[in-house]
Amino acid sequence: GVTQSPTHLIKTRGQQVTLRCSSQSGHNTVSWYQQALGQGPQFIFQYYREEENGRGNFPPRFSGLQFPNDSSELNVNALELDDSALYLCASALGKGGPDTQYFGPGTRLTVL
C-alpha cells in the first residue's frame, strides 16, 4: 500500500519541511493533497514518471520530487500558520485510462 512519513510533525513559522511518500509498487503517478481540518482534500500537484503533470492553486513554495523507486517528496518552504493540515499523497497506476487512486495515511503538520 501507500505509506507516508512522518506521521506527525511540528514546525515553526518560516521553517522548511519535507514530507515523504512511498507509492504502491508499480504505480507511476503520485498526487499530493492538503486537507485542512473539517474540509475536503485540495489538490497540490501531481507527478508522473518524475515530471510534474499538473498543479493546483498553491504557491511555488510548495514543491515536489518523484523518484524512480516509487518514492516521492513534498517540500514546503517558509511555512505559514495556514499550512497546518493533513497532507495526503495518493498513487495511481498511470496517467490516463480507468484507474483508482490510493491514498496514504497522511502526515499531520502543525505550524506554530
Positions 69 through 88 that interact with another protein (CB under 8 A):
88
Query: How far apart (Å, rounded) are the C-alpha atoms in residues 111 and 51?
Result: 29
- 57, three cell numbers: 492553486
Positions 20 through 39 that interact with another protein (CB under 8 A):
29, 31, 33, 38-39
With respect to another protein, which residue has the nearer C-beta, 16 or 23?
Answer: 23
Is residue 96 a contact point for another protein (CB under 8 A)? yes
- 97, three cell numbers: 485510462
Is residue 64 a contact point for another protein (CB under 8 A)? no
Strand arrangement, sheet containing 3-5:
3-5, 17-22, 71-76, 62-66
Query: How far apart (Å, rounded) are the C-alpha atoms in residues 34 and 96?
Result: 23
With respect to another protein, which residue has the nearer C-beta, 14 or 99?
Answer: 99
| 42, 35 contact by CB (below 8 A) | yes
Residue 38 beta carbon to another protein: minimum distance, rounded to whole angstroms = 8
- How many chain residues are in contact with another protein, going by CB under 8 A? 31
The residues that touch another protein, with contacts defined as CB under 8 A, are 2, 29, 31, 33, 38-43, 46, 53-54, 56-57, 88, 92-106
